[in-house]
Structure 1
């Protein structure tokens, strides 16, 4: 077996039960990632009252969590390249579930902060692996849509968790711990182990064409049994084994530009979104709303999140992803600014709903867009580093938000957040390449190959 031709064999497959089971498994992991990622935000108002936690302490825990996310993203790219996409997905999900469970037993803000950093590392690592996994298994013409569908299901974890938090956090002095117990259920992804297949593209990148062919035959047999005879794939594109991808490889011109561009995208997305979602319950509580009302209002706004991912699924393979990202970023900036300029509960919910709707659509589009800028060899490393740097940037974000709030007031926070989204939209509009329905590039793709 000289070449398994995984790219073209996967691209000519109709969507079948195999794809739907894979989608369900990835969506399950996303669900508990989104469930867990805002756990500290929904419990911190209670901890301010219970443990005497200050706004600055909330900022430090949040900042360190994003340091954990950065480390998790970098480690994820190494694990995904060395051990495979499937095993990396399972390992990172079990990791964040375990440390979310450990957070149930926190005894002070320091212990909770440590557990949140370790949880956050797993959350970010899982995201990087899942993005790559979906992009390598689904046909080029529909992978953006199915990436968004996974998030449509997964993002429901945010409103469900926020509604659970609004119901249980205020019951008594210990029920806030149930929020972290809920997030720990992500470990149940192991139940999908037998349904998941390793990425044939990963096997090919290592020169293991026999293993790639074996997995492809299993997938093709399942799809053919359901959909009938399959069309012949296009001829293979010759590529050499990718080998190890050292960090210095990103300094090469073909990797440096997309890495820098995506770093800007994920930095502005991270500061812009988490500046909003992490701080909204705490800032509303500080501005005179009760803990229960502040958490409830934010829970209502997150109902828009699944709708945003569904909107992304409708547009991602129909229009150029770059321009969808630009349009969504501008709308988020405007709605986020209006959110910060009102104290009317109805308008808070309306504009917060729109922020969540378009931000989660933006995230789904970004997950589809990012891996398309790299070939097989650089995909895991480039995606992981750019995503990780984005998360690392928010180590400073909460400190900036706390300083703005303490120095200039509530509304200055939202001017800052709107500004970050605007910067991201402008940079993408000017420098972002087009990738609509692009084939994922092989490790040594010829210049004539599509991006």
Structure 2
């Protein structure tokens, strides 16, 4: 039986209210993912004074959180393939909301660390599923832009959290708990569930063409009611049933190269970004700035994040994504190095603003780029494994940063962070496949055809 020609039917759809509601739901999940990612970093300076937490303990909590992210990423790949994209997105978002709420009631650094590990698993899992979900529901010619738009909205969770933390953390010995309560508002994602559709491409990959056709017919009716008659899709094609994806499949020549490249991309992004964002408040306070000032300065720098995602939305579908990533990565390295070389508050805010702006542009483009290196069969597994390995790398990142700070001082941390970004940019420049719109559309089909 011919398949319902899912790719052709999805790619011909104009952007409509259906896509915008989907985008809003994903953006909401991203917002509280970015909000919750930074809660521990913004409360750590207070806990140093309140509980006597050491830099080493902060490093271990942060490291274990990234182990949680790795496990969450792997679980997300399995959940997205087994349960479907919509259900997996819902479960993972509610998971991190529940454990952020549990963090409100932590009684020492061990209990808080345990809750943070579980929260982090949900944060990473949600991100993996959301990237795949947008990739499969938006037309190839527009998905890069709308992936970035989701980040534009979502990344506002970072400055929002930092500004809230700068206001509430100094109020009392218990008010730091309100930061985790704020992160728990991701639970309100339940309000979007009834508006979302399952990915028809997932139904197709599971050998259920009738269900894929049914959900696509619903989507097409919604879009046509708003936009008018739709162009005819390409003729259906016969596709052999796909075997279930297994981890060893990524060792095949077809998938090994993209998996290794993306793993390096996410390793350097994770260590480079979280090395900066997770440690900046603590390191500034260690350099003599007050807790209030250090949190406030970092909050001001994160205002650049939405602008970076907006820039990514403008360039993602116009410029080759590979080279956009190289440019963004190099700019982050330079800005981050200059951040570490100054102790002037104005310059700290200025260079920190640039780090956040370029990094969020990088991440928005990378979210579009990563799933395009795999076909439908391997997309969930390949994205989950490469993203998860990146997050796992930061299990050692904080320990390296703590050792560098203790042994060589503040500025050595930022030299190390700049170096990680340059390694990632160089690897992409030398080995990264190009994924322009034509290549992205090719990758949507049964076989991925990427241009080097």
Place the TM-score, normalised by the shorter chain, in its bin. over 0.9
Cα displacement (A) at 1:240 = 2.7
Partner residue, 1:78 = 78
Alignment check: 8 A CA contact 2:435 2:450 kept: no
Alignment check: 8 A CA contact 2:433 2:450 kept: no
Cα displacement (A) at 1:448 = 6.8
Cα displacement (A) at 1:239 = 2.5
- Secondary structure at the aligned position of 1:169 is classed as helix
The number of equivalent residue pairs is 450
Is 1:252 aligned to 2:227, yes or no?
A: no
1:120-149 CA-partner distances (Å, limit 9, x unpaired): 000000000000000000000000000000
Alignment check: 8 A CA contact 2:434 2:450 kept: no
For residues 289 and 275 of structure 1, the distance between their equivalents in structure 2, rounded to whole angstroms, comes to 19
Alignment check: 8 A CA contact 2:165 2:176 kept: yes
Cα displacement (A) at 1:3 = 1.1
1:34-79 CA-partner distances (Å, limit 9, x unpaired): 0000100000000000000000000000000000000000000000
Alignment check: 8 A CA contact 1:159 1:300 kept: yes
Alignment check: 8 A CA contact 1:281 1:298 kept: yes
Alignment of 1:384-423 (within 5 A): 384-423=384-423
Partner residue, 2:119 = 119
- Secondary structure at the aligned position of 1:312 is classed as helix
Shift in alpha-carbon separation, 1:149–1:440, aligned structure 2, 3 A = farther
Alignment check: 8 A CA contact 1:140 1:440 kept: no
Alignment check: 8 A CA contact 1:96 1:123 kept: yes
- Secondary structure at the aligned position of 1:78 is classed as helix
Cα displacement (A) at 1:195 = 0.5
Partner residue, 1:67 = 67
Q: Tell me, which stretches of 5 or more residues in structure 2 are unaligned?
A: none
Partner residue, 2:241 = 241
Is 1:141 aligned to 2:141, yes or no?
A: yes
- Secondary structure at the aligned position of 1:441 is classed as helix
Shift in alpha-carbon separation, 1:118–1:18, aligned structure 2, 3 A = same
1:75-112 CA-partner distances (Å, limit 9, x unpaired): 00000000000000000000000000000000000000
Alignment check: 8 A CA contact 2:373 2:450 kept: no
For residues 450 and 86 of structure 1, the distance between their equivalents in structure 2, rounded to whole angstroms, comes to 31
Cα displacement (A) at 1:234 = 1.8
Cα displacement (A) at 1:444 = 3.5
Shift in alpha-carbon separation, 1:449–1:73, aligned structure 2, 3 A = closer
For residues 300 and 240 of structure 1, the distance between their equivalents in structure 2, rounded to whole angstroms, comes to 53
For residues 412 and 451 of structure 2, the distance between their equivalents in structure 1, rounded to whole angstroms, comes to 44
Partner residue, 2:276 = 276
Cα displacement (A) at 1:274 = 0.3
Partner residue, 2:441 = 439
Shift in alpha-carbon separation, 1:381–1:178, aligned structure 2, 3 A = same
For residues 66 and 220 of structure 1, the distance between their equivalents in structure 2, rounded to whole angstroms, comes to 40
Is 1:356 aligned to 2:340, yes or no?
A: no
1:180-202 CA-partner distances (Å, limit 9, x unpaired): 00000101111111110000000
- Secondary structure at the aligned position of 2:233 is classed as coil
Partner residue, 1:104 = 104
Partner residue, 1:379 = 379
Partner residue, 1:57 = 57
Alignment check: 8 A CA contact 1:90 1:190 kept: yes
Cα displacement (A) at 1:244 = 1.9
For residues 5 and 446 of structure 2, the distance between their equivalents in structure 1, rounded to whole angstroms, comes to 14
Alignment check: 8 A CA contact 2:325 2:365 kept: yes
For residues 145 and 211 of structure 2, the distance between their equivalents in structure 1, rounded to whole angstroms, comes to 28
Cα displacement (A) at 1:335 = 0.2
Alignment of 1:20-419 (within 5 A): 20-419=20-419
Partner residue, 2:6 = 6
For residues 446 and 229 of structure 2, the distance between their equivalents in structure 1, rounded to whole angstroms, comes to 31
For residues 290 and 444 of structure 2, the distance between their equivalents in structure 1, rounded to whole angstroms, comes to 54
Alignment check: 8 A CA contact 2:434 2:451 kept: no
Cα displacement (A) at 1:426 = 0.2
Alignment check: 8 A CA contact 2:96 2:184 kept: yes
Cα displacement (A) at 1:236 = 3.4
Normalising to structure 2: TM-score of the pair?
A: 0.98
1:273-326 CA-partner distances (Å, limit 9, x unpaired): 000000000000000000000000000000000000000000000000000000
Normalising to structure 1: TM-score of the pair?
A: 0.98
Alignment check: 8 A CA contact 1:242 1:443 kept: no
**Structure 1 consecutive aligned stretches of length 4 or more whose deviation exceeds 4 Å:** 447-451
1:227-272 CA-partner distances (Å, limit 9, x unpaired): 0000011233432333321111111011110000000000000000
1:9-39 CA-partner distances (Å, limit 9, x unpaired): 0000000000000000000000000000010
Q: Tell me, which stretches of 5 or more residues in structure 1 are unaligned?
A: none
- Secondary structure at the aligned position of 1:139 is classed as coil
